[in-house]
Amino acid sequence: MKLDSLDGLMKPKSVAVVGASATPGKIGYTVIQNLQKDGYKGAVYPINPNATEILGYKVYPNVTSIPEAADAAIITVPAKFCLDVVDECGRKGIKNLIIITSGFSEVGDKELEEKMVETAHKYGSRILGPNIVGICSNSEKFNGSFAPFLPLEGKSSLISQSGALLIAIDASSYIRGVGFDKLISIGNMADIDFADLVTWLDKDENTSCISMYVEGFKDGRTFIEACQKASKPIIALKSGVSAHGAAAAASHTGSLAGAAKVYGAAFQQAGVIQAADLDDLFDRSLALSLQPPMKGENLLVLTNGGGVGVLATDAAEKYGVPLKFAPADVQAELKKHMPEFGSAKNPVDMTGMAGNEWYYATTKFSYAHKWVDGLVVLYCETAMTNPLEIAQSIKKAVDDSGVKGKPVTVSFVGGERSVNAMRWLVDHGIPAYGAPDLAINAIAALREFYKMKEIVNEAPISCEGFQYEQAVEIINKARTEGRDSLTEIEAKQVFSIYGLPVTATELAKTEDEAVALAKKIGFPVVMKIVSPDILHKSDAGGVKVNIKDEAAARDAYQTILKNAKAYKANANIHGIAVQEMAPWGTEVILGSVNDPTFGPTMMFGLGGIFVEVLKDVTFRVAPVSQNQALRMFSEIRGAPILAGVRGEAPRDREALADVICRYSSMIIQLQDEISESDANPVLVYEEGKGVKVVDARIILKKKA
Amino acid sequence: MKLDSLDGLMKPKSVAVVGASATPGKIGYTVIQNLQKDGYKGAVYPINPNATEILGYKVYPNVTSIPEAADAAIITVPAKFCLDVVDECGRKGIKNLIIITSGFSEVGDKELEEKMVETAHKYGSRILGPNIVGICSNSEKFNGSFAPFLPLEGKSSLISQSGALLIAIDASSYIRGVGFDKLISIGNMADIDFADLVTWLDKDENTSCISMYVEGFKDGRTFIEACQKASKPIIALKSGVSAHGAAAAASHTGSLAGAAKVYGAAFQQAGVIQAADLDDLFDRSLALSLQPPMKGENLLVLTNGGGVGVLATDAAEKYGVPLKFAPADVQAELKKHMPEFGSAKNPVDMTGMAGNEWYYATTKFSYAHKWVDGLVVLYCETAMTNPLEIAQSIKKAVDDSGVKGKPVTVSFVGGERSVNAMRWLVDHGIPAYGAPDLAINAIAALREFYKMKEIVNEAPISCEGFQYEQAVEIINKARTEGRDSLTEIEAKQVFSIYGLPVTATELAKTEDEAVALAKKIGFPVVMKIVSPDILHKSDAGGVKVNIKDEAAARDAYQTILKNAKAYKANANIHGIAVQEMAPWGTEVILGSVNDPTFGPTMMFGLGGIFVEVLKDVTFRVAPVSQNQALRMFSEIRGAPILAGVRGEAPRDREALADVICRYSSMIIQLQDEISESDANPVLVYEEGKGVKVVDARIILKKKA
């Protein structure tokens, strides 16, 4: 059955409260009280078999008896009754269920929760929760929650995975002066998840920025897709970045993939801006909800104080929007509105002598000037000026500039008068902050938003159309032998199927075969033990390199075999791999994990000490386009290495990007088969000369 | 003449206002008005030849005519009259001059400023300023400034190098609820500098934390020394960290020494805590002024909300006080004060059901428990609890615990009621913040303070007593030849004098000499061109390594000579250095710069890509004790390399620390001679096997 749209959930014209109570203090009472007190205009149907009237509303004995199929039901009955209520609502035709009740999967009872969702979906109904505070919506004057009041009005809507935090944020919105249109408690996400709400809020005329407090997604991929399709700014505070352990990872890549890094990659791919902490979530949401994106990189800062100007300069560098000097014509014009000892560079320091007129003139000129992509106006409270008048001058200047669509943020450092002036600015659509670095951070968020959307919207370069069946055949063979990993030769065969340039490697089962293969491949060669029982080949004395002739090949064959048997007497030895000896190049490591939240995920890093000592790696949720791969190269600290250092030619980054793209296609197509994998090392040669995968490893997924 | 103590400046019993005005709006009027309105109890002597009375005070025509030698004079007359006023004050015996007037070195007139200081010092007088706002002191009810009012009362005192920022901070103290005892505007620092004020404030009974906004020091070393001697916490917000360029540096080290890194090192050595931004300066000052240092690393977090608990956990890791699980007995006790689904680990989540009693019980128990070194209490505002009562429960629990001397910080997330409860807590000595990460950051500052003081107080290991004269002789020889750098051989001689283990290197002037030296040193050797005109020896084909016998030595001698002449026909060639070929070890780079603010400063980094690609280096203002040097090793990203990676033995860090200590003594003793220097590479062998300086470079200071 087709599931209901969320319109009835977010903008219900009528609402049933199942578990309504006449006892003040009970949640079933608080919800009724909140609907009434906060001005909800729709019909309210309290349901309680033992009451006739609550707060003036007529009470119904059960869902069936209410006079219409309400748009939504708010459910507060104990957990054990919830399944019946869901069913009753379904029969009545109530499609949106806000289940406040707790005591489900969060205390271990996953089954009951799943049954409710199953039942709801049978009727096409949707469930928000369970284990939530509810929904607060200013535009609907709908407080369908036990939060004590609607938040300060604003243009962001916030989704919170913590109920306690949602209630605290509700109250703190008034203190911070940062408002929200909606606060949505998402709880256990048994049915409706972040992706559903992002999709709905992106179309909501009362929401201009989607904010979220995230502890963890159930399905990371639907989240990414929903965000990529959205056009509004989305900002997330992700908590629990220090908790995730990758303790028992079987591959190198697995041991390097922490939640913070994979979530960070996913947010970037989704076009979601990150908040550093709770204050930052408020600060950045405010700017994102009120101002347009910053489309270029020229940021101009106006100030009446050198000190805050320098602090803003530092912040601009820190937050990725470094200041550049304005062109001469801009400086010349600005110079007219300051004393001789002022500065028209950037920051533009009008000095403490700046009053309303100078603020008006410099703001109007700067905002209108084509060089300026974004404007930050700073003000230190002085005895000679009135903060509110300065605020009004700034606002009027922006309005009078004749220009639209550029971001402006403001910081006033001062006392009560400055705070009031900033409230006025926010009420008039200009985000304002109590410290200069916050105004810079806010405009940096608007710059990030623009850059991310550019990336999300770029045409993906696809690397598809490979021989999936052949790969599965190799894997199945290993499985039938009871193995949970492929040998190097098998892994390289799978890589080859996906077009990865592996070193030629073939299996010799006798000394003579080894010599023949070495001749076929061409000396010098490398020889390695192939045994599913020996994973660390070097430790076992199972690797010989730079074998230059037949005699050496024969010697190597016997030595390796002897070493392997000494290392593990009963090892199952497939034979000895004879391998092309690739010329040396820049070592990189590629790899994949199957992230529990995001599924197949690629890793890239430089080899050697970069990965071993510095853990200098970066991630992307697969598939990874070539453009995304090229961006990965600039994200690691060792980035200059690939660009060419110490007079070396640049490395073949395009070829490497192509390999990442193909590799990522492989882990997507084979996601039911591959758990983790490494290509380590991959040697990258100078531009035009390609790359070579020297060693390969594939760990299989356990099948049920 | 002995200069006056600053008592009369900071706590004047009487004050002359030179340039007092009867015209409202003028600074000379505002100062008089502020003294009166803010309750200054001392005598006020306005001085103005054209007035008889201002705001009820009797006006004197000149300094000479006032009835006593006032403790301080506040000077607001135009710049051109200031020198005369300084002299007149001196003659009158007024020893403390607060010169508000601007128009001196900040607009380029350094000479007039210097003359004022010279004149003042002749009388033993001191100058604060010029170009300042003045001094505000709550404990003296002394508003000797044109800031509109005294700040909110508090226990920190703030020194600001920006006047505009000081005025803005003054006003914003009331908004933030973070007070100050004194605000001191330091302006051009013609005489009194940060070091003087730190020394005085450290003895001030009304100051428990010294806060500062710093743009730049004049003399970094006196600052470090003053801070090291101080016992109170000192916190600095340093601005302009992005501005400093090291553009024209002659050495590798010079190009890597930016202001942020050298200031960072200096603050660390001084025991000064850094603030990340303006908000952080307020937040950390509050904690440092109210709470004792955190003496161990066990931080416990109590909360009523899982969400803020997770955010606190993330913050604890970020700010260097990562949470550990409490011992079983602690958990068992805490479990008594929460429902079954709560958590007694760390954070201790009492759940939303926590009321006053649970907060009281868990706080009292935790604060008293010997395992706990610091406590953070978090609270999310709920409908069922009263924030003020929670606050009072926390305070009472701490008081009733019977324990003192441990830090506690608090965060309440909520609305007006929470804000008021936090104000109450601050008034009762417990720092409280609107977000969980801020409470963690605050207690992390108290931990930093303790750790820094431990380091500052450790006994320095000195490396002194070297042959200074011998070194100067080598340098003078180069100078008489008109050179501004030493040759490698000369530089190594100087290094040797200071006990640095350089590779044996001697100068051959003929082919036969080269062979004889090679035999003496022992093959294999390295040979290198020695010419003050050829700094990049490798580029000139002037280096040959691994010379194994006499024939090779003869060949190398001729080849190098030919290459050098081809490279630069008229180069002054001293000869060819024959050098011991050191066995390979871990490459590090040591170096020095003469920082404009802090003087001789050491750099340490790992060689190769670590320095070239990652700029992974760290600094210390010289001299550097062995203990400090050991600490430097752990500050770079490549730290694990010295500890031994990939199964390698640990490197000889003690020997390297000794070399750094000696090197730092050298650059101190020779600070008038050496501008920059490098020892690059220095090879570090495994423990017990020492280090070897393979190449050396010394750039001389230009002499007047």
B315 contacts on A by Cβ (under 8 Å): 277
Residues of A with Cβ-Cβ distance to B383 under 8 angstroms: 30, 146-148, 167
pLDDT in tens, B75-84: 999 999 999 9
In one letter, which amino acid is A375?
L
Nearest alpha-carbon partner for A374 in A295, A320, A453, A439: A295
Report the alpha-carbon distance of residue A669 to residue A663 in Å, rounded: 10
Which residue among B213, B278, B613 places its CB closest to the CB of A638? B613
- Pick A215's closest partner by Cβ from B304, B310, B419: B310
Continuous segment of H or E residues that includes residue A360 = helix A356-368
Contact B135, B128 (CB under 8 A): yes
Structure confidence at residue A254 (pLDDT): 62
Bridge partners, residue A135, by sequence: A144, A184
Mean pLDDT of chain B: 93
Residue B363: is it exposed, middle or buried by C-beta count within 10 angstroms (0-12/13-18/19+)?
buried
DSSP state letters, B73-92: EEE-S-HHHHHHHHHHHHHH
Question: Distance between CA atoms of A639 and B23, rounded to whole angstroms?
Answer: 64
Report how far residue A319's alpha carbon sits from residue B296's, in angstroms, rounded to the nearest whole number.
Answer: 34
CB A211 within 8 A of CB A155: no
Beta strand B142-145 pairing with B348-349: unpaired
Q: Could you tell me the two tokens for A503?
A: 């070193």
Contacts of A241 in chain B (CB under 8 A): 314
CB distance B164–A305 less than 8 Å? Answer: yes
* Amino acid occupying residue B195: A
Largest Cα–Cα separation, chain A: 100
At B253-265, the pLDDT tens digits run 666 666 788 999 9
Q: Which residues on A lie below 8 Å from B316 (Cβ)?
A: 242
Q: What is the 3-state secondary structure (H, E, C) of A395-462?
A: HHHHHHCCCCCCCEEEEEECCHHHHHHHHHHHHCCCCEECCHHHHHHHHHHHHHHHHHHHHHHCCCCC
Spatial neighbors of B270 by CB under 8 A, at least 6 apart, are B223, B224, B227, B228, B234, B456
What residues in A contact B240, CB-CB < 8 Å?
A: 310, 313-314
pLDDT of residue A463: 67
- Predicted confidence band at B401 (pLDDT cuts at 50, 70, 90)? very high
CB atoms B279 and A434 under 8 Å: yes
**To the nearest 5 percent, what fractions of chain B are helix, strand and coil?**
40, 20, 40
**DSSP helix/strand/coil, A18:** strand
Angle at CA of residue B510, ends B509 and B515, nearest 5°: 110
Q: For residues A318 and A327, is the Cβ–Cβ distance under 8 A?
A: no
Mean of all residue pLDDT scores within chain A: 93
CB contacts < 8 A, A to B, total 213
Would you state the structure tokens that stand for residue B596, as one six-digit string? 């404009």
**Contact at 8 Å (CB) between A128 and A96?**
yes
Answer whether A596's CB lies under 8 Å from A608's CB: no
- Kindly compute the dihedral angle of the four CA atoms of residues A17, A22, A25, A29, in this order, to the nearest 10 degrees: 20
Across the interface, whether the CB atoms of A305 and B415 are under 8 A apart is answered no
Mapping DSSP to helix (H, G, I), strand (E, B) and coil, where does residue B159 land? strand
Do the Cβ atoms of A492 and A677 come closer than 8 Å?
no
Helix (H) or strand (E) holding B456: helix B436-457
Please judge whether A310 and B213 are an interchain contact, meaning their C-beta atoms are less than 8 angstroms apart.
no
What does the pLDDT look like over B498-511, one tens digit per residue? Answer: 999 999 999 999 99
Average pLDDT over residues B53-72: 96
**Euclidean distance between CA atoms B563 and B551, whole angstroms:** 18
**E strand or H helix at A315:** helix A306-318
How many helices (H) and strands (E) are present in chain A, helices listed first? Answer: 24, 29
DSSP track, A331-352: HHHHHTTS-TTSB-SSSEE--T
Q: Rounded to whole angstroms, how far apart are CA atoms A19 and B421?
A: 34
The average pLDDT across B471-494 equals: 93
Q: Which residues contact B309 (CB under 8 A, 6 or more apart)?
A: B301, B303, B347, B349, B378, B436
pLDDT digits (tens, 9 = 90+) for B634-673: 999 888 889 887 778 899 999 999 999 999 999 999 999 9
Rounded distance between C-alpha atoms, residue A87 and residue A125, angstroms: 10
Tokens encoding A652: 């073949």
Q: Is residue A684 within a helix (H) or strand (E), and if so which, with residue range?
A: strand A674-684
Query: In sequence order, what are the residues at sequence separation of 6 or more whose Cβ sits closer than 8 angstroms to the Cβ of residue B640?
Result: A613
Type of residue found at A626: Q
Q: Which residue has the higher pLDDT, B488 or B60?
A: B60
**DSSP assigned state of A686:** B
Q: Which residues from chain B sit within 8 angstroms of residue A378, using beta carbons? A: none
Mutate which of B314, B325, B341, B346 to test chain A, going by most A C-beta atoms within 10 A?
A: B314
At B150, list the tokens.
């005294």
Structure confidence at residue A462 (pLDDT):
66
Tokens standing for residue B329 = 């007995």
Q: What pLDDT shows up at residue A260?
A: 80
**Residue B686 pLDDT > 60, yes or no?**
yes
Mean pLDDT, rounded, for B373-380? 98
CB atoms B310 and A239 under 8 Å:
yes
Residues B136 and B127: their CA atoms lie apart, in Å, by 16
Say whether pTM exceeds 0.90. Answer: yes
Give, as one character, the DSSP assignment of residue B128. E
Q: Which residues of A27-65 are buried (b: 16+ CB within 10 A; e: fewer)?
A: bbbbbbbbbeebebebbbbbbbeebeebbebebbeebee
- Measured at the CA of B450, the angle between CA B444 and CA B453, to 5 degrees, comes to 135
Q: Do B612 and A646 touch (CB under 8 A)?
A: yes
Q: What is the pLDDT at residue B289?
A: 97
Give CA–CA dist A147/B415, Å, rounded.
12
Q: Sorting pLDDT into bands at 50, 70 and 90, what band is B240?
A: confident
The distance of Cα B629 from the centroid of its chain, to the nearest Å, equals 17
B381 vs A contacts (CB less than 8 Å): 167-168, 171-172
Tokens standing for residue B435: 């977000």
**Cα A81 to Cα A70: distance, rounded to the nearest angstrom:** 20
| Alpha carbon distance B192, B189 (integer Å) | 6
3-state SS, residue A300 = strand
CA end-to-end span of chain B: 30
- Sheet containing A408-413: give its strands across: A348-349, A299-303, A374-380, A408-413, A432-433
Q: Do B645 and A213 touch (CB under 8 A)?
A: no
Q: Which residues of chain A have pLDDT under 70?
A: 1, 242-258, 460-465, 704
Confidence of residue B7 (pLDDT cuts 50, 70, 90): very high
d(CA A38, CA A611): 56
Half-sphere exposure of B525 (CA within 13 A, CB side): 30
Q: Are B315 and B347 a contacting pair, CB within 8 Å? A: no
pLDDT at B552 over 60: yes
Greatest alpha-carbon span in chain B: 100
Query: Please, what is the angle between helix B306-318 and helix B436-457, to 10°?
Result: 30
Indicate if the pLDDT at residue B555 is higher than 90.
Answer: yes
pLDDT bucket at B245, cuts 50 / 70 / 90 = very low
Inter-residue contact B277 to B303 (CB < 8 Å) = no
pLDDT level of residue B463 (50, 70, 90 thresholds): low
Give the sign of the dihedral formed by CA A551, CA A555, CA A560, CA A561: positive
SS3 content of chain A, % helix, strand, coil (to 5): 40, 20, 40
* Contact assessment for residue B131 and residue B106, using Cβ atoms and an 8 Å cutoff: yes
- CA–CA separation, B251 and B594 (whole Å): 11
| β-sheet bridge partners, residue A592 | A602, A677
Question: Residue B510 contacts by C-beta under 8 Å, 6 or more apart in sequence?
Answer: none
The rounded distance, in Å, linking the Cα atoms of B95 and B330 is: 59
Tell me if A629 sits within 8 A of A615, measured CB to CB.
no
Three-class DSSP category at B634: helix
* Per-residue model confidence (pLDDT) at position B246: 34
Residue A246: predicted pLDDT: 34
Question: Is residue A500 within 8 Å of residue A657, measured between CB atoms?
Answer: no
Question: Which pLDDT belongs to residue A251?
Answer: 57
Q: Show the CA angle centred on residue A197, arms to residues A192 and A202, nearest 5°.
A: 160
Q: What does the pLDDT average to over B342-364?
A: 94
Please judge whether B242 and A419 are an interchain contact, meaning their C-beta atoms are less than 8 angstroms apart: no
Six token digits for residue A249: 């990872």
Query: Which residues from A are below 8 Å from B239, CB to CB?
Result: 307, 310-311, 314
Flag if B416 and A171 touch (Cβ within 8 Å): yes
* Tokens 């917000």, located at residue: B237
Mutate to test the interface with B, among A34, A149, A159, A162 (most CBs of B within 10 A): A162
